[in-house]
Amino acid sequence: MTGSDGSGPALIGALKDFNAHWERTAAVWHDAARARFEEDFIRELTESVRSAANAVGQIEVLLNQIRRDCS
C-alpha cells in the first residue's frame, strides 16, 4: 500500500501560499469587487480546503494503521 503522508499539511501549505498572496493584494486592490470576490470565492474555498485537509489527515492515519496491522 502506498502512502499519502503529508497531503493534509501540503493542502494547508498551498492554501496559506494563496491566502498570503490574497492578503498582499489588499495593498493595491481595495474596492467592492475585491470584497465580493472574497465573499464569493475565497471564504468558501478556504473553509473547504481546511475541511478536506483535516479529512485527508485522518485518512492518512487510518491507512498507516492498516499498513501496520496488515503487513
User: What residues make contact with other proteins under the rule CB under 8 A?
Assistant: 1-4, 7, 10-11, 14-15, 17-18, 21-22, 25, 28-34, 36-37, 40-41, 44-45, 48-49, 51-52, 54-56, 58-60, 62-63, 66, 69-70
Please report how close the Cβ of residue 8 comes to other proteins at its closest, in angstroms.
8
Q: How far apart are CA 42 and CA 18, in angstroms?
A: 10
- Residues whose CB is less than 8 angstroms from the CB of residue 31 and which lie 6 or more positions away in sequence, other chains included: none
Please report how close the Cβ of residue 68 comes to other proteins at its closest, in angstroms.
9
Q: How distant is the alpha carbon of residue 50 from its chain centre?
A: 5
Please report how close the Cβ of residue 1 comes to other proteins at its closest, in angstroms.
5
End-to-end CA distance of the chain: 9
